[in-house]
Amino acid sequence: MHPILLLVLQRLGLGVLLLLAASALIFGLTEILPGDAAQAVLGQSATPESLANLREEMGLNRPALTRYVEWLGGIVTGDMGNALTNKLPIADQIARRMSATLFLAFWAALISVPLAILLGLIAVRYQNRWPDKAISGITLASISLPEFMISYILIFLFAVQLPWAPSFVSINDSMSLLQKLHAISLPVAVLTLVVLAHMMRMTRAAILNVMQSAYVETAELKGLSTFAVIYRHAFPNAVAPIVNVVMINMAYLVVGVVVVEVVFAYPGMGQYLVDAVVKRDVPVVLACGVIFAAVYIILNIVADVVSILANPRLRHPK
Amino acid sequence: MSKIPLSALIGLIITGTYFLGAIFAGVIAPYGMAEVVGDVWEPSSPEHWLGTDQIGRDLLTRIIYGGQTTIFIATAATILSFTTGSVLGFLAAVFGGWIDQVMSRLVDLFMSIPSLILALVILSSIEATVLTLIVIMGLLDSTRVYRLARAVAVDISVMDYVEAARLRGEKFGWIIFREILPNALSPLVAEMGLRFIFMVLFISTLSFLGIGVQPPLADWGGIVKENKDGINFGIGAALYPAIAIATLAISVNLVADWILNRTTSLKGGRG
- pLDDT tens digits for A195-213? 887 788 788 888 788 878 8
Same domain, A48 and A119: no
B110 has a chain A CB within 8 A of its CB: yes
pLDDT tens for B10-55 read 888 988 888 888 888 777 777 777 777 777 667 777 776 677 777 7
Nearest CB among A29, A141, A262 relative to B209 is that of A262
Q: Of A76, A99, A124, which marks where a domain is finished?
A: A76
Which SS3 state, helix, strand or coil, does residue A266 take? coil
Name B36's bridge partners.
B57
Nearest CB among A141, A145, A148 relative to B208 is that of A148
pLDDT > 70 fraction of chain A, expressed in percent and rounded: 89
Q: Which pLDDT score is estimated for B74? A: 93
Same domain, A41 and A139: no
Please enumerate in sequence order all residues whose Cβ is within 8 A of that of B10, keeping only pairs 6 or more positions apart, or say none: B251, B254
Mean pLDDT of B204-210: 89
d(CA B67, CA B82): 22
Q: Which pLDDT score is estimated for A139? A: 74
Mean pLDDT of B168-184: 84
Contacts of B211 in chain A (CB under 8 A): 274, 277-278
Which SS3 state, helix, strand or coil, does residue A60 take? coil
Nearest CB among A18, A144, A255 relative to B253 is that of A144
Q: Which pLDDT score is estimated for B221? A: 85
Domain that holds residue A310: 90-315
CA A258 to chain centroid: 9
Nearest CB among A25, A145, A296 relative to B246 is that of A145
Inter-residue contact A252 to A109 (CB < 8 Å): no
Residue A293's CATH number: 1.10.3720.10
Interface test with A, best of B107, B109, B124 (most A CBs within 10 A): B124
DSSP state for residue A36 in the 8-state scheme: -
Q: Which pLDDT score is estimated for A3? A: 77
Instruction: Single out the residue of A245, A234, A254 nearest to residue A304, CA to CA.
Output: A245
Residue B56 has pLDDT above 80, yes or no: no
Query: In this structure, is residue B270 part of a structural domain?
Result: no
Domain that holds residue B49: 6-264
Q: Quick check: B113 and A25 CB within 8 A?
A: yes
Report how far apart the first and last C-alpha atoms of chain B are (Å, whole number): 18
Query: In this structure, is residue A83 part of a structural domain?
Result: no
Q: Quick check: A33 and B122 CB within 8 A?
A: yes
pLDDT tens for B177-195 read 888 888 888 778 778 888 8
pLDDT tens for A166-183 read 766 666 767 777 777 777
Q: Of A54, A76, A98, which marks where a domain is finished?
A: A76
Query: In this structure, is residue A55 part of a structural domain?
Result: yes
Residue A278 has pLDDT above 70, yes or no: yes
d(CA A73, CA B208): 34
Inter-residue contact B115 to B201 (CB < 8 Å): no
Query: In this structure, is residue B111 part of a structural domain?
Result: yes
Which SS3 state, helix, strand or coil, does residue A82 take? strand
Nearest CB among A144, A278, A297 relative to B246 is that of A144
pLDDT tens for A62-99 read 777 888 888 888 788 777 777 777 777 888 888 888 88
User: From A149, which residue of chain B is nearest by alpha-carbon distance?
Assistant: B242
Same domain, A264 and A298: yes
Identify which has the larger pLDDT, A19 or A157. A19
Instruction: Single out the residue of B111, B106, B101, B94 nearest to residue B165, CA to CA.
Output: B94
pLDDT band at B267 (very low <50, low <70, confident <90, very high): very low
Query: In this structure, is residue B269 part of a structural domain?
Result: no
B140 has a chain A CB within 8 A of its CB: no
Same domain, A146 and A22: no
For this complex, say whether ipTM is above 0.85. no
The number of domains in chain A is: 2
Residue B42's CATH number: 1.10.3720.10
Number of A–B residue contacts, CB under 8 Å? 140
The number of domains in chain B is: 1
Same domain, A121 and A256: yes
Q: Quick check: B224 and A33 CB within 8 A?
A: no
Residue B214 has pLDDT above 50, yes or no: yes
Vertex A271: Cα angle to A269 and A274 (nearest 5): 110
Q: Quick check: B228 and A152 CB within 8 A?
A: yes
Q: Quick check: B116 and A258 CB within 8 A?
A: yes
Question: What value does the mean pLDDT of chain B take?
Answer: 82
pLDDT band at A44 (very low <50, low <70, confident <90, very high): low
Vertex A196: Cα angle to A193 and A200 (nearest 5): 150
User: From A282, which residue of chain B is nearest by alpha-carbon distance?
Assistant: B124
Same domain, A59 and A97: no
Question: What value does the mean pLDDT of chain A take?
Answer: 80
Q: Quick check: B210 and A274 CB within 8 A?
A: yes
Inter-residue contact B38 to B58 (CB < 8 Å): yes
Contacts of A278 in chain B (CB under 8 A): 210-211
Q: Which pLDDT score is estimated for A127? A: 76
pLDDT > 70 fraction of chain B, expressed in percent and rounded: 91
Q: Quick check: A286 and B121 CB within 8 A?
A: yes
Query: In this structure, is residue B1 part of a structural domain?
Result: no
Inter-residue contact A146 to A258 (CB < 8 Å): no
Nearest CB among A144, A152, A167 relative to B238 is that of A152
Contacts of A273 in chain B (CB under 8 A): 117, 120
Please enumerate in sequence order all residues whose Cβ is within 8 A of that of A43, keeping only pairs 6 or more positions apart, or say none: none
Residue B270 has pLDDT above 50, yes or no: no
State the DSSP string of chain B: -PPPPHHHHHHHHHHHHHHHHHHTHHHH-SS-TT-B-SSTTPPP-SSSTT-B-TTSBBHHHHHHHHHHHHHHHHHHHHHHHHHHHHHHHHHHHHH-HHHHHHHHHHHHHHHTS-HHHHHHHHHTTS---HHHHHHHHHHHHHHHHHHHHHHHHHHHHTSHHHHHHHHTT--HHHIIIIIIHHHHHHHHHHHHHHHHHHHHHHHHHHHHTTSSSPTTS--HHHHHHHHGGGGGGT-GGGHHHHHHHHHHHHHHHHHHHHHHHHHHHHTTT--
Residue B78 has pLDDT above 90, yes or no: yes
Q: Quick check: B245 and A149 CB within 8 A?
A: yes
Residue B231 has pLDDT above 70, yes or no: yes
Please enumerate in sequence order all residues whose Cβ is within 8 A of that of A133, keeping only pairs 6 or more positions apart, or say none: none
Shortest distance, CA B118 to any CA of chain A (angstroms): 7
Q: Quick check: A152 and B242 CB within 8 A?
A: yes
Instruction: Single out the residue of B258, B254, B252 nearest to residue B186, CA to CA.
Output: B258
Shortest distance, CA A275 to any CA of chain B (angstroms): 9
Q: Of A51, A76, A101, which marks where a domain is finished?
A: A76
Mean pLDDT of A206-224: 84
Shortest distance, CA A132 to any CA of chain B (angstroms): 18
Q: How far is CA A255 from CA A183, A202, A261, B115, B120, in A?
A: 21, 19, 10, 9, 11
Q: Which pLDDT score is estimated for A40? A: 66
Same domain, A65 and A126: no
pLDDT tens for B85-124 read 988 998 888 888 888 889 888 898 888 888 888 998 888 8
Contacts of A152 in chain B (CB under 8 A): 224, 228, 231, 238-239, 242
Please enumerate in sequence order all residues whose Cβ is within 8 A of that of A162, keeping only pairs 6 or more positions apart, or say none: none
d(CA A221, CA B257): 36
Query: In this structure, is residue A82 part of a structural domain?
Result: no
Most confident of A40-44, A79-83, A266-270, B78-82: B78-82
Same domain, A155 and A235: yes
Inter-residue contact A300 to A251 (CB < 8 Å): yes
B255 has a chain A CB within 8 A of its CB: no
pLDDT band at B268 (very low <50, low <70, confident <90, very high): very low
Same domain, A49 and A167: no
Burial of A95 (0-12, 13-18, 19+ CB in 10 A): exposed
Same domain, A214 and A292: yes
* Helix axis angle, B239-266 to B220-227, nearest 10°: 150
Q: Which amino acid is at A291?
A: I
Query: In this structure, is residue A171 part of a structural domain?
Result: yes
Query: In this structure, is residue B134 part of a structural domain?
Result: yes
B117 has a chain A CB within 8 A of its CB: yes
Q: Which pLDDT score is estimated for A230? A: 76
B56 has a chain A CB within 8 A of its CB: no
User: From A29, which residue of chain B is nearest by alpha-carbon distance?
Assistant: B122
d(CA B14, CA B244): 10
Same domain, A302 and A174: yes
Please enumerate in sequence order all residues whose Cβ is within 8 A of that of B175, keeping only pairs 6 or more positions apart, or say none: B94, B157, B162, B165, B166
Same domain, A172 and A55: no
Q: Quick check: B126 and A286 CB within 8 A?
A: no
Query: In this structure, is residue B206 part of a structural domain?
Result: yes
Which SS3 state, helix, strand or coil, does residue A216 take? helix
Residue A266 has pLDDT above 90, yes or no: no
Q: Quick check: A292 and B117 CB within 8 A?
A: yes
Query: In this structure, is residue A261 part of a structural domain?
Result: yes
